[in-house]
Chain A
């Protein structure tokens, strides 16, 4: 039972690492966003390879929880971090988006007035 879960989680983290790495290589994921994912994958991988070291002896003794719950808790904490990171990123993007929209509108108005002035002076 424990071995199966260990194997499953280990495979999952390897797949996560490979996908993250591939996306960075193809420049579809920027490094700043991938760091947390890489870190998450690495930590879960370590835990699944040496569960007795990091969990049974250390983590479980401190917290008094079992292997599976410990892994789920850890995964949940990392996901929380990632989601939090994303809301910071989204806030920044929407503020940049607002600046861009305003700048675009001001430039467009400027251009329209410039064209109007030009056609006026040509008709004169």
Chain B
């Protein structure tokens, strides 16, 4: 029989997994899944239902997505990691993470995949701030992202313009690392430091991002300062951890 890792003819969808973490996103999940199906028909779609109390899981299943139902809410980090574990165990070569609220334009997925192959890096980050950008956000968030960008660029000695972007593509090496270590609460910036410490290479590509279609941002104004401090602290602690791979 064919190797599970190979892109054999009878299983042409084996290679790329699109992971969509979703917590109470019944308003947007159908649209997101359908868009991913349209833009990347060869990819398999995995919705990680992070203990939603609404119809997220049912709606995703009805659209033909594979749904991983967590028994209770683990938070974005635990949900993403569950998706990466699935990707690793099923032998996927690449995984793309897309938010379940529709703010990521799935037409950009092929661009991320192509960059992952062409640039020979372990992770590609879709950045809102490279090149032309219509993306406008609040003053607070802009300042926060700039601080993260400065700190992380300094630590990993590479310019990262959008460290909080959750629109990313990972190769198998990175998938494997994430099955073992993935940060918990607001994982995006911290994951970059983890990757750097394990000797993984990363690159950014410009993407267009729309505003969220439904649902709330996981970061409200009141909590944004708390978020900043917590993630910065976690990043600093990460610098002192033993490297993992």
Contacts and interface: CB of A to CB of B under 8 A. Distances in A.
Contacts of A108: 69
Given A105-B48, A105-B69, A106-B85, 10 more contacts: A98-B78, A98-B81, A102-B74, A104-B71, A105-B71, A106-B82, A106-B86, A109-B66, A109-B68, A109-B86
Interface of B: 48, 66-72, 74, 78, 81-82, 85-86, 89
Contacts of A104: 71
A109 B61 CA distance: 12
Contact of A102 (B66, B67, B85): B85
A109 B81 contact: no
Nearest to B49: A105
Contacts of A102: 70, 74, 78, 81-82, 85
A49 to B, nearest CB: 45
Contacts of B82: 101-102, 105-106
25 contacts: A98-B74, A98-B78, A98-B81, A101-B70, A101-B71, A101-B72, A101-B78, A101-B82, A102-B70, A102-B74, A102-B82, A102-B85, A104-B71, A105-B48, A105-B69, A105-B71, A106-B68, A106-B82, A106-B85, A106-B89, A108-B69, A109-B66, A109-B68, A109-B86, A113-B66
B117 to A, nearest CB: 28
Contacts, number: 34
Contacts of A101: 70-72, 74, 78, 82
A109 B69 contact: yes
Interface string A80-124: 000000000000000000100110111011000100000000000
Contacts of B81: 98, 102
Contacts of A105: 48, 68-71, 82
Contacts of B66: 109, 113
Contacts of B86: 106, 109
Nearest to A94: B184
A102 B71 CA distance: 8
A90 to B, nearest CB: 14
Contacts of A98: 74, 78, 81
A43 to B, nearest CB: 34
Nearest to B61: A112
Given A102-B81, A102-B82, A102-B85, A109 B67 contact: yes
B188 to A, nearest CB: 18
